[in-house]
């Protein structure tokens, strides 16, 4: 992604906007659901906002630009403030990916409606597509990536909320080893493709085929 900064600064800016938008809506949704479920922690910490400055992690953002793997500032919540900690933690976790997919779907609908307007100018449509496409890409990628059931990704707590209590306890015993699993998944082995890419590329491409027909990830993770 960073290589486009020198080749095409406008495209780089569009992708940067897409990245910031995806992270902001993702983390804001975590905070909003936690707040609605009775935990004031995100509100107290100033996370109940769409302001990107509240959600961007400087190191995580730089890593995304450099190596296409990074993170936003995690939304913290106190399980003791939740009525059903395990279930509510899963709801808080899944809110981020769902918000990304909903935003991608809404922007996809906007594009389709714009192309249906007979009097619309072709250059304006191309500009609109160029601005919206990166936002859809980033939201789909962030959503699918975070659904991988490995701590600290959202998918880990989502699975923990679905499993019966006995199995959930065993599942959460894997939490301390999450970063080891994640590093193994994102490290590119033979063929230059990270194992996690082989898992999520087909899912990402499925959503992109709906939101942006003819689109492909081209190897984002």
Instruction: Please give the positions annotated as active site.
Output: 27
Residue with tokens 């919206």: 132
**∠97-100-1 over CA atoms, to 5°?**
105
Distance (Å, rounded) from C-alpha 78 to C-alpha 53?
22
Distance (Å, rounded) from C-alpha 54 to C-alpha 19?
14
Please report how many Cα atoms fall inside a 13 Å half-sphere around the Cα of residue 18, on the Cβ side. Answer: 25
Distance (Å, rounded) from C-alpha 25 to C-alpha 156?
20
**The two structure tokens encoding residue 63:** 């890593």
Name residues whose C-beta falls within 8 Å of residue 213's C-beta, 6 or more positions apart in sequence: none
């Amino acid at each position: 992604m960073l290589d486009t900064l020198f080749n095409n600064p406008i495209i780089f800016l569009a992708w940067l906007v897409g990245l910031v938008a995806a992270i902001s809506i993702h983390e804001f949704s975590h905070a909003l659901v936690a707040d609605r479920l009775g935990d004031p922690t995100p509100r107290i910490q100033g996370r109940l906002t769409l302001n990107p400055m509240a959600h961007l992690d400087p190191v995580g953002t730089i890593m995304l630009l450099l190596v296409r793997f990074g993170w936003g500032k995690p939304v913290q919540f106190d399980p003791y403030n939740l009525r059903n900690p395990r279930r509510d933690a899963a709801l808080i976790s899944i809110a981020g990916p769902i918000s990304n997919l909903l935003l991608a779907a809404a922007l996809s609908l906007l594009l389709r409606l714009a192309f249906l307007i007979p009097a619309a100018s072709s250059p304006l449509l191309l500009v609109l597509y160029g601005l919206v496409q990166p936002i859809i890409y980033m939201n789909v990628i962030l959503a699918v990536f975070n659904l991988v059931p490995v701590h600290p990704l959202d998918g880990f707590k989502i699975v923990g909320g679905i499993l019966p209590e006995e199995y959930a306890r065993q599942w959460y015993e894997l939490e301390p080893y999450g970063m080891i699993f994640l590093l193994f998944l994102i490290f590119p082995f033979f063929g230059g493709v990270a194992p996690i890419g082989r898992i999520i590329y087909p899912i990402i491409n499925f959503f992109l085929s709906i939101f942006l027909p003819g689109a492909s990830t081209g190897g984002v993770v």
